[in-house]
Structure 1
Amino acid sequence: MLTPEQFKNVFSDAIPASSPQITILAKANGLNHPRLGLAIPKKHIKLAVGRNRVKRIVRESFRTRQHQLPAVDLVVIAKGGSGDLSNEELTKLLGKLWQRIVRRCNG
């Protein structure tokens, strides 16, 4: 997702999947594929290298799981502590959150 309107649409009435470090918001998009948007604030991850690492891991996790996800717009929001997780911990956490989104959107 690219435009502020697309992000606002998801924020308005979303299905959440949350952990202390990451929140994923999902909303049906009317397309036949999921789309990803990222919100990684400087407030929670100070250094650009940390924000870029989190973005890279989220994108890779989405890429490997996108065929299992329903047709929704997803916004991944990093919260405090997300930059402190190792790559493996972050990947594992995202996997659990993707599964929660699939259950909530399909069931």
Structure 2
Amino acid sequence: MQGVPKAASGSRCDTVARFRLERRKRLLAKPQFDRVFNAPDINVRREGIRAVATRNDCNCCRLGLVVSRRAVPKSVDRNLAKRLIRESFRGFQHRLPAVDVVVVVRRSDPSSARDTLREELGRTLSRVWQEIERGMGRER
């Protein structure tokens, strides 16, 4: 049967693609992470999270994640933590100056429920982003 339109395509919804964290806003390679860790402009530690930031030349803020198996043993919880960090970053990225930020999850309380993790991580990250915003200024 030719000429019959398909009911649905296999592509993602436009709204989902719009809220993705673009590749250019992510730190992906080891030299990018090393640059941030070797010359940090700001270093924030809060409740099991460490955020290190340094200025960059690309006129946008970029995010790198370090969530080790030792810090968060269960892969489900590791993926949740990374997703929550990316989500929080997407909400604050327009307020941050042109910086490279690496967020390191230092530890996770294994007894805490996922809902508690969601609340604690959200609260902690909003304070981290505010400290980076305050410490780095709004130069763009």
2:35 matches 1:4: no
**Paired AA for residue 84 in structure 2:** I
Identity of aligned residues (%): 38
Runs of 4+ in 1 over 6 A off after TM superposition: none
State the partner residue of 2:55: 28
In 1: Cα distance, 2:49 partner to 2:92 partner: 17
Aligned length: 107
Q: Is residue 91 of structure 1 aligned with residue 122 of structure 2? A: yes
Q: Residue in 1 aligned with 2:76?
A: 49
Unaligned runs of 5+ in 2: 1-26
Name the Cα RMSD after superposition: 1.5
**Secondary structure at 2:33 match in 1:** helix
Aligned to 2:39: 13
Supply the distance in 1 between the matched residues of 2:125 and 2:32 (Cα, whole angstroms). Answer: 22
Contact 2:47/2:124 (CA < 8 Å) preserved in 1?
Answer: no
More contact order relative to length (CA 8 Å, sep ≥ 6): 1
Tell me the TM-score normalized by structure 2.
Answer: 0.72
Output the CA distance in 2 between the equivalents of 1:95 and 1:106: 16
Higher mean alpha-carbon deviation, 74-83 vs 93-102, is at 74-83
AA aligned opposite 1:93:
T
For the pair 1:66 / 2:97, whether they are aligned, the reply is: no
Query: Which consecutive unaligned segments of at least 5 residues does structure 1 have?
Result: none
Rg comparison, structure with higher value = 2
> Between Structure 1 and Structure 2, which shows a larger proportion of helix residues?
1
